[in-house]
Each structure stands twice: as structure tokens, then as C-alpha cells.
Structure 1
């Protein structure tokens, strides 16, 4: 559905070239929710704008459903863009227009009849749960409601792809959860492919199928959400995912445990989170596990249990215990000493 090949984007800033996106290649399948996560300044917003040619790439190609956007005429590019909806962090609503008018006006500019506009506006207001707010103005809405209007406006064009540019970053946690549930509903019920960018790993974890990690304009790691969460390779990914830092354990406490044994991070995936693998370690081996912290993350299609565990025992028994845990499907990574 979306294919980027060696995409780069360079800006001229006060006579100096700044490369915001550097040689990015990725593919997004139809019906997938694909996320790009990165810190501020990583190039995420520029990348997402290259997909619909709001920013034309300096190099590389962007294909939407097999069409190379750079090869299209102005008219055909405009038609292809209608397949791509976009929602923004700042909502971009007209302050002097009602909710109904904010959704209807772009459709009117597109040349749709009044009857078709009415059908679409009412349909998508119902989907986002704002039918009763259609005569309200943006100032009368909460942040979450404004974002729902923006989503309805994007959906009213009946796109095949929805781009989300930090759509939840200005919202409180409860409202964010509601918007993410709405995006999941849109993906599942309407079959719309979603490409989102965010600096919030929770957003990726909650709704995405695959994720790319971006830093300094480049994709530094890519894979399924589960693989990236449980087996991060790049230092930036590890900072996002965290290990002991994500449990907020004081550094001096961690160092004390490291001096008396091994600290390991354990991930129990799906049904494996119900297996008493850790409980059996002390029975099978001369190795005593102590749980320091833990939690459960709910991914789009799976459950991920996380534990930070102190294993006390000699090297031989420790290695046997680790091998056993891995045989049971537990993802094990040793927490390194600070050096």
C-alpha cells in the first residue's frame, strides 16, 4: 500500500543544507497499522509529509498502491491524495465553523452534492461518536472531541490510508486511550491502512502491527512490535523500551543487587505469561529468583508480561536457569552493569 525507496529530504535553512530524512526505505501492507517512533527532531514529521507529497522528497520514490507519486500529473496527484487522509496534533479546525461545517466544507470543495455531503458527514460523525455535537463550535469541545472531529473530517473523504502526525501527544492519558481505541475500530471495521508517527512508545505498543525507530533522519531499527519490544538492538530502541529504567528502581538499589547476583529482564509473551516457568527455577536449579518489579503490557494482538528479576546462584546454575527459561519461551536479557 505504501512503499518508500531511498527517500531523502533536504531543506535549505539560511543558506545551509539540513537533511531531515536520510535514505529511508520501508513498506506498509494494506490494512496494517505501522508506527514510526523517535525523539523530537528525528525527522518523523517530515517523513510522514513525504508520503502524501506535502513535502516532495529530494531523492527517492514514494509509491501509493503501486503508483509513483513523482510521475503523476498535478491532476492525478490531487486524485491520489484523496486516498490519503491526515490527522494532526493541532486538529486544524476552522474556529468559526461548526463541527458539521468543518467536515462538510472540504467535501464541498471536492465537488460533492449536498445530499452526498450530508450522508458522509452524518456517517462519520456517528463513527467517531459526535452526532450530538454537530452544531457546536470547536471552542465548545474538549481536546479529545476536537481530535474526533479531525478524524471524521479525514474519513469523510473515504481514504484508503490514514496518516497520523502525533495525533495523541496533546491529549491526557484517558483521552489518548479513547482515540487509540477509535483508530483500532477504524482499522478493523473500515479496513483503512494507518501510518502514524509518535514519540510515545505506549501508542506504538497499543495499536501497531509493526514499528520503525527513527533517529537523525534514519530508520535505525524495524520489525514487529513484539520483536522490537522484547529484543531491541539499537541503543535508541533500548532507550525507548528501557529495562530496569522502565520500572523506576533506584540506581543504588539496582547496583546492590548486581553485586550479589545477576539481574535479568524477562518477557513472557502471550500464553507464555501464564506458565509458572520462573516459579520452577528454584526447584530445578540451585538458583534463587527474586522479583524486583513487573508489569503487563497489552499489545494490539498479544499480551506481554515483564519482570525484573534478581537471580542468586553460581555461574553454572545461573546459566542452566537461563537456558531453561528460554526453552519455555521466555525472552531473557541480562541487565548490564553500569561501567
Structure 2
């Protein structure tokens, strides 16, 4: 559905050339939710704007449903963009227009008939749960409601792709949760492909099928959400999903446990969460496990249990215990110093 091949985007700042995106390549399947995560300045916003040519790439190709956007003339590009909706962090609503008018105006500019405009506005305000707010102005709405208006406006064009540029980063946790549920519902009921960028790992956890990690303009790692969470390869990814960071264990305490044994992160996926594997370790091996922290993450398609465990015992016993855990389907990672 979306195919980026070696996409780069440079900007000129005086005599300096800034490489915002560097040879980024990715492929998004029709109907999936694909996320890109990275810290501020990683190039995420520039990348998402290259998808609909709000930023024309310096090099590389962008294909939407097999169509190379660079090969289109101005009229053809406008037609292609109608299939790509976009929602922004800042909502971009007209302050002097009602909710209804904010959704309807782009359709009027597109030249749609009045009856069709009314049908679409009412349909998508209903989907986002704002039918009763259609005569309100943005100043009368909460942040979450404003974002719902922006989503309805993007959907009113009936796009095949929805781009989300940090759409939840300005919202409180409860409102973020409701917007994520709405995006997931839109994906599942309307079949719209969603491509989102975020610096919030929770967003990726909750609704994405696959994820790419960006750093300094490059895609440094990509894969299924489960694979990235349980087996990150790059240092940037490890900083996002690292056990010691997510459990907020003081560094001096972590160091103490490492000096008195082995400190490991255990990941239980799906049915493996039902296995009493850790209890069996102390029964079958000369190793004493102590659970320091734990939690359960509900991913879009899986349940991921996480434990930070201190294992005390001889090296040979420890190695046997780790092998036993792996055979039980548990991912094991030793925590770095």
C-alpha cells in the first residue's frame, strides 16, 4: 500500500545542508497499522510528510498502491492526495467555524454536492462520537474532542490511508487511550491503512502491527511489534524497551544485584504466560530466583508479560536454568550494567 525506497530529504539552512531523512525504506501492507517511533529530531515528521508529498523527497521513491508520486503532474497529485487523510498534533481547526463546518469545508472546496457533504459529515461525526457537538466551536471542546473533529475531517474524504503526525502527544493519558481505541476501530471497521509516528511507546504497543525505529534520519530497525519488544537489536530500540528503564529500578540497586548473581529480563508471550516456568527453575536447578519487578503489556495481537529477575547460583546451574526457560518459550535477556 505504501512503499518507500531509499527516501532522503535534505533542507538548506543558509550554507548548511540538514539531512532530515536518510535513505529510508519501508513497506506498509494494505489494512495494517504501521508505526514509526523515535526521539525528537529523529526525522519522523519529515518522513510522514514525504508520504503525501507535503515534503517532496530529495531522492528515492514513494509509491502509493503502486503509483509513483514523483511521476504525477499537479492535478494527478491532488487526486492521489485525496486518498490520503492526515491528522496533526495541533488539530488545525478553524476557530470561527463550527464542528460541522470544520468537517464540511474541505468537501465544499473539493466541489462535492451539498447532500453528499451532509451525508458524509453526519456519518463521520457519528463514527467519532461527536454528533451532539456539531454546532459547537473549537473553543468549546476538549483536546480529545478537537482531535476527534480532525479525525472526522480526514475521514470525510473517504481515504484509503490515514497518516497520523503525533496525534496523541498533546493529550492526557485517558484521552490518549480513547483516541487510540478510535483509531483501532476505524482501522478494523473501515479497513483504512494507518501510518503513524510517535515518540510514545504506549501508542505502538496498543494498536500497531509493525514498527520502525528512527534515529538521526535513519530507520535503524523494523519488524513486528512483538519482535521489537522482545528482541531489540539496536541501542536506540533497547533504550525504548529496556527492562531496567521501564521498571524504574535505581541504577545502584541494579548494580548490587548484578554483583551477587545474574540479572535477567524474562518475556512471556501468549500461552507461555500460563507456564509456572520460574517456579520450576528453583525446583529443578540449584538456582534461587527473586522477582524484582514485573508487569503485563497488552499489545494489539498479543499479551506480553515482563519480569525482572535476580538469579543466584553457580554459572553452570544458571546456564541450565536459562536454557530451560528458553525451551519453555520464554525470551531471556541479561540486563546490561
User: How far apart are the structure 2 equivalents of 1:49 and 1:278?
Assistant: 47
Structure 2 distance, partners of 1:213, 1:304, is: 20
Question: Distance between the aligned counterparts of 2:271 and 2:280, measured in 1?
Answer: 17
In 1, Cα distance between the equivalents of 2:65 and 2:255?
52
Note the alpha carbon deviations across 1:259-298, whole angstroms, 9 max, x for none.
1110000000011112111111001111111000000001
Counterpart residue number, 1:211: 211
Q: Distance in 2 between matches of 1:188 and 1:241?
A: 27
Q: Give me the whole-angstrom Cα distance separating, in 1, the residues matched to 2:54 and 2:47.
A: 10
The structural deviation recorded for 1:75 is 0.8
What is the rounded CA distance, in whole Å, between the counterparts of 1:61 and 1:250 in structure 2?
Answer: 46
For 1:336 and 1:162, how far apart are their aligned partners in 2? 39
- The whole-number CA distance in structure 2 between the counterparts of 1:236 and 1:256 is 25
Report the alpha carbon displacement of residue 15 of structure 1 after superposing the two structures with TM: 2.4
Which whole-Å CA distance do the structure 1 matches of 2:256 and 2:66 have between them? 57
Are residue 97 (structure 1) and residue 94 (structure 2) matched?
Answer: no
Query: Which residue does the alignment assign to 1:117?
Result: 117
> SS where residue 271 of structure 1 aligns?
helix
List aligned pairs for 1:148-297, cutoff 5 A. 148-297=148-297
CA distance in 2, matches of 1:222, 1:254: 29
SS at match of 2:136: coil
SS at match of 1:168: coil
Cα distance, 1:250 vs. partner?
1.4
Q: How far did residue 73 of structure 1 move?
A: 1.3
In structure 2, C-alpha distance between the alignment counterparts of 1:178 and 1:15, rounded to whole Å: 45
Corresponding position of 2:7: 7
Equivalent residue pairs, number: 337
Residues 35-46 of structure 1 correspond to what in structure 2 (within 5 A)? 35-46=35-46
SS in 2 for 1:91: coil
Q: Which runs of 4+ in 1 moved over 4 A?
A: none
Q: Give the alignment of 1:320-335 within 5 angstroms.
A: 320-335=320-335
Deviations 1:79-133 (A, max 9, x none): 0100000000000000000000000000000111110000000000000000000
Shift of 1:252: 1.8
C-alpha distance after superposition, 1:35-86 (max 9, x if no partner): 0000000000000000000000000000000000000111111001000000
Partner of 1:59: 59
Equivalent residue of 2:61, what SS? strand
- TM-superposed deviation, 1:191: 0.3
Instruction: Determine the C-alpha separation between the residues in 1 that align with 2:224 and 2:185.
Output: 20
Q: Residue 302 of structure 1 corresponds to which residue in structure 2?
A: 302
Which has the larger displacement, 138-147 or 267-276?
A: 267-276
Gaps of 5+ in 1: none
Q: Deviations over 1:165-187 (max 9, x none)?
A: 00000000000000000000000
Q: Using the alignment, how far apart are the partners of 1:52 and 1:264 within structure 2?
A: 43
For 1:74 and 1:245, the matched residues in 2 are separated by 48
Aligned-pair CA distance for 1:142 = 0.1
The separation in 2 between residues aligned to 1:160 and 1:15, in whole angstroms, is 40
Secondary structure (helix, strand or coil) at the match of 1:159 reads: coil
Offset at 1:336?
2.0
SS in 1 for 2:243: coil
Alpha-carbon distance between aligned partners in 1 of 2:104 and 2:257, rounded to the nearest angstrom: 61
